[in-house]
Amino acid sequence: MNDAVKNSTIHDPQTKLKVTVCDMLKSKFKPRKGEVRYFVTAGQETLAFETQGYKRHRKLLILHMVAWYCMYLGLMEAQIHSSLPLNFK
């Protein structure tokens, strides 16, 4: 996977919502209170996605942003989870 994933940010131009991306195998992820987060597993990859400045945005928008970014990275087998998968080490 591209090293640019680490500490990347996705922006939605209409709502100004930002979602940060963290490669959990290369960085430590610290959840922030009041933000929405999703986790993605794809093969050996585990990514964390967390909003920045969440203000009751639709969760479907956040999922769309996560799915778009996974496709951008070429992670076609990606699975999106609302909590950290139990098998994550």
Interval 28-59: pLDDT, tens: 888 999 999 999 999 888 999 999 988 888 89
Query: Residue 86 falls within a domain, yes or no?
Result: no
At 66, the pLDDT band (50, 70, 90 cuts) reads very high
Q: Which residue has the higher pLDDT, 30 or 85?
A: 30
Query: Residue 71 falls within a domain, yes or no?
Result: yes
Query: Residue 39 falls within a domain, yes or no?
Result: yes
The 3-state DSSP class for residue 26 equals: coil
Q: pTM for the full model?
A: 0.86
Q: Which residue has the higher pLDDT, 85 or 64?
A: 64
The 3-state DSSP class for residue 5 equals: helix
Query: Residue 77 falls within a domain, yes or no?
Result: yes
Contacts of residue 60, Cβ cutoff 8 Å, sequence gap at least 6: none
**Residue 46, number of CB atoms within 10 A of its CB:** 20
Query: Residue 87 falls within a domain, yes or no?
Result: no
* Structural domain count of the chain: 1
Query: Residue 88 falls within a domain, yes or no?
Result: no
At 85 the pLDDT is 76
Q: Which domain holds residue 59?
A: 3-81
Mean pLDDT estimate for the chain:
88
At 56 the pLDDT is 83
